[in-house]
Amino acid sequence: MLSKEQFKEVSRYLDSLFPDAKCELFYSQDYELVIAVMLSAQTTDKSVNAVTSHLFKKYPTLKSLLDADIKDIENEIQSLGLYKNKARNIKGIAEILYHEFNSVLPSDKNELQKLPGIGNKSAGVIRCEIFKIPDLPVDTHIIRISNRLGIAKSSDEPIDIERKLKKIIPEESWIKSHHQLIHFGRYFCTARNPKCNKCKIKKYCKN
């Protein structure tokens, strides 16, 4: 496993590649990010943004989503995988936020996970993005990078990888590292055809 000192080198390299890495989901209201994060399961941010640009224009408030016909929501998001289940989640998120939280998004991780389709990873993303609460949620890109750098084992669950990363990355850098690792996996150390010949941390790679 990488040491704290070794990860400092990785971090400097990520700084050089992606100095301004940030969430790539589009949203203007807090609840819109919740919905976008939920929709992003098993699909790309680009696909989600294409859908939500129309969805949030058609239903510009939480109440309008709550009152919307679920078939209409399905039609808006049918290009995404699992769209029927995700449409139910949208309605459920709107209902719980409107009735139980007075339309105010909670910052507590356990409270966020009461929302349909929002688990530990998604709640961490929301806390980082909306509330700037340090967290290091692990997605498929971070899993792949962690395995390749020897930080994690292939048998590790995402929560195990999250704990391991938090041991070698200072808390004040969790949010930045979360975004940079995702960008590194999305645009450089890809699942197929990673740019190994250009990589300056290849010495740590177990791939």
Q: Which residues are catalytic?
A: 121, 139
The residues near 36 (Cβ < 8 Å, ≥ 6 apart) are 25, 26, 27, 48, 49, 52
Q: Which two tokens stand for residue 22?
A: 């940030």
CA torsion sign, 82 to 153 to 136 to 100?
positive
Q: Which two tokens stand for residue 6?
A: 């070794």
CA distances, 197 to each of 62, 116, 120, 182, 194 (Å): 48, 42, 35, 20, 9
DSSP class of residue 80 equals S
Secondary structure of 68-80 in the HEC alphabet? CCHHHHHHHHCCC
Strand runs (DSSP E) across the chain, as ranges? none
**Distance between CA 181 and CA 61 in Å, rounded?**
33
**Distance between CA 33 and CA 52 in Å, rounded?**
10
